Amino acid sequence: MGLPGWARLGPGVVKIIRQKSHLLAVRGGRPVEISAVSARTRDKDRGVNLTSYAWEDDPVVLATRDDVDVFVELMGGSDGPAKAATEAALKAGKDVVTANKAMLAMHGQALAQLAEDNGAVLRFEAAVSGGIPVVKSLTEGLAGNEITRVLGVMNGTCNYILTRMESAGLPYDVVFEEANQLGYLEADPELDVGGIDAGHKLSLLSAVAFGTQVNFAGVELEGIGRIKIEDIRAVADMGYRIKLLGVAQMTGRGLEQRMSPCLVPETSPLGQLPGGTNMVVLEGDQVEQVVLRGPGAGEGPTASAVMGDVMDIARGLRVTTFGQPAATLTEATPAKSATPAPYYLRMALQDKPGALAKVAAVLAASGISIDQMRQYGHADEAAPVLIVTHKTQRAALDEALEAMQTTDVVVGAPVAFRIENL
């Protein structure tokens, strides 16, 4: 086995192989050993001793060594060395295990086809929701189902921020900085709080669930930066919690993929999900609903997922990358929020007669009816107003929100969050 990339996951994989060598050999029917490694620098303290392994400065060279039959790519990055080394390994007929969601979200179709063309397998359990075996569940355990919907919380950092805001009563900016100090955020925080990281994961699960080519560009993305502590408190009063929720489903208008803040019932499994935990819900025509919950990140859980793929290869299990031959994956038409839903709206209105009536008229003109409305006390000229609509199309809501900007009563841009039916 060749192992490049040591920023986070490499030490965890080494620890499992060293500490559980006998167990792995018994379960896999053959020894599992590291033959060579690669990283940017040799002398960095990584918490594990690598001197017993051969060293390659170039991961592409590592990928094509004769004593490497499985290439475990842990470098990260959608292009660059990670992609070059993965392609080299597949072209050489080496099996590849990767935790690189960005690379697969951008190049998954081509890499899956390259693997099949060269008699290799490409596995990526560790790329989606850490230690939760969701890819294996879709490709194997639920292979007899027509999947109707995939949804879940797929970024532990965002879930930590939102649950911490609620439990401590702290505003977003304070908790964001706290998460940063704890090392929870990526070097580019927007990957986490902007929903990009979770969107990568959702696009991969969509491909497996619906037999489509990976289409990250078709994922509607909205991060958590617009959520205020006032939203957290208000939705709690209504019996909801806010989660960065990924949803994918095939509709009559095409494949709907969205990663955005949503309200979920506080009593639901997703509503009760704490801290950095992830949860993925799979719905199929035979099983109805399967709920998978576990750690979404971290050295141990992610290394566990890597080794799960390595062990399948050791056992001789040859599964196509996305659960069916790459040539049979269809190019789905993206559908923007095709499924109607109720929405939570927050806005500030000029405190003058007729302001609420104008907003209600704008909503009615777009065919949107109001289910609930609350107005809170205020100290300035702008009055905070919360509205929950009945089910509506997102396109109709966008039309109404745009029209509100032309009135003289709405201060700033309204905020809208979908209420998801679970």
Q: Is 201 a catalytic residue?
A: yes
Within this chain, do residues 143 and 291 fall inside the same structural domain, yes or no? yes
Q: Is 100 contained in some domain?
A: yes
Phi, psi at 367, each rounded to 5°: 80, 25
Within this chain, do residues 79 and 157 fall inside the same structural domain, yes or no? no
Residue type, 20: K
**Number of domains, the chain:** 3
pLDDT at position 45: 75
Q: Which two tokens stand for residue 41?
A: 């620098």
Within this chain, do residues 95 and 218 fall inside the same structural domain, yes or no? no
Distance between CA atoms of residues 353 and 401, nearest Å: 20
**∠ CA(280), CA(285), CA(286), 5° rounding?**
95
Distance between CA atoms of residues 293 and 269, nearest Å: 9
Domain boundary among the residues 269, 296, 323 is at 296
Domain boundary among the residues 235, 265, 296 is at 296
Determine the number of helices (DSSP H) and then strands (DSSP E) in the chain. 14, 16
Q: Is 252 contained in some domain?
A: yes
Residue 148 has pLDDT above 80, yes or no: yes
pLDDT at position 7: 66
Q: Is 308 contained in some domain?
A: no
Q: Do residues 313 and 121 make contact, with C-beta atoms less than 8 angstroms apart?
A: yes
Phi, psi at 60, each rounded to 5°: -70, -40
Could you tell me the pLDDT band of residue 379, with boundaries at 50, 70 and 90? low
Q: Is 116 contained in some domain?
A: yes
Residue 9 structural domain? 2-127
Phi, psi at 152, each rounded to 5°: 165, 175
pLDDT at position 336: 76
Helix or strand or coil: residue 125? helix
Q: How far is CA 135 from CA 88, 130, 170, 247, 381, in A?
A: 24, 11, 35, 16, 52
Domain boundary among the residues 127, 150, 183 is at 127
Within this chain, do residues 153 and 118 fall inside the same structural domain, yes or no? no
Could you tell me the pLDDT band of residue 46, with boundaries at 50, 70 and 90? confident
Whole-number mean pLDDT of the chain? 92
Q: Is 318 contained in some domain?
A: no
Measure CA 204 to chain center.
9
pLDDT at position 338: 66
CATH number of the domain where residue 230 is located: 3.30.360.10
Query: How many other β-carbons are positioned within 10 Å of the β-carbon of residue 207?
Result: 29
**How confident is the model over 291-315, as pLDDT tens digits?**
999 988 888 899 999 999 999 999 9
Within this chain, do residues 92 and 146 fall inside the same structural domain, yes or no? no
Distance between CA atoms of residues 97 and 224, nearest Å: 31
Average of per-residue pLDDT across 55-74: 94
Within this chain, do residues 176 and 289 fall inside the same structural domain, yes or no? yes
Q: Which two tokens stand for residue 224?
A: 């958590």
Distance between CA atoms of residues 187 and 185, nearest Å: 7
**How confident is the model over 348-357, as pLDDT tens digits?**
898 888 888 9
Closest by alpha carbon to 259, among 346, 197, 166, 187?
197
Within this chain, do residues 93 and 217 fall inside the same structural domain, yes or no? no
Q: Which two tokens stand for residue 230?
A: 């006032």
pLDDT at position 187: 82
Share of residues in the chain with pLDDT > 90 (%)? 75
Catalytic-role residue among 83, 94, 201, 243 = 201
pLDDT at position 42: 76
Within this chain, do residues 142 and 277 fall inside the same structural domain, yes or no? yes
Q: Is 16 contained in some domain?
A: yes
Q: Is the pTM of this model over 0.85?
A: yes
Which DSSP state fits 170?
A: -
H or E element at residue 284: strand 277-284
Q: Is 331 contained in some domain?
A: no
Q: Is 314 contained in some domain?
A: no
CATH number of the domain where residue 378 is located: 3.30.70.260
Within this chain, do residues 138 and 79 fall inside the same structural domain, yes or no? no
Q: Do residues 282 and 292 make contact, with C-beta atoms less than 8 angstroms apart?
A: yes
Token pair 């911490």 is at which residue? 164
Phi, psi at 220, each rounded to 5°: -75, 125
Distance between CA atoms of residues 309 and 120, nearest Å: 13
Edge-to-edge order in the sheet of strand 54-55: 54-55, 36-38, 2-4, 70-73, 95-98, 122-123
Listed in sequence order, the residues at least 6 apart from 46 whose beta carbon sits closer than 8 Å to its beta carbon are 6, 10, 11, 39
Within this chain, do residues 8 and 102 fall inside the same structural domain, yes or no? yes
Within this chain, do residues 20 and 111 fall inside the same structural domain, yes or no? yes
Within this chain, do residues 146 and 290 fall inside the same structural domain, yes or no? yes
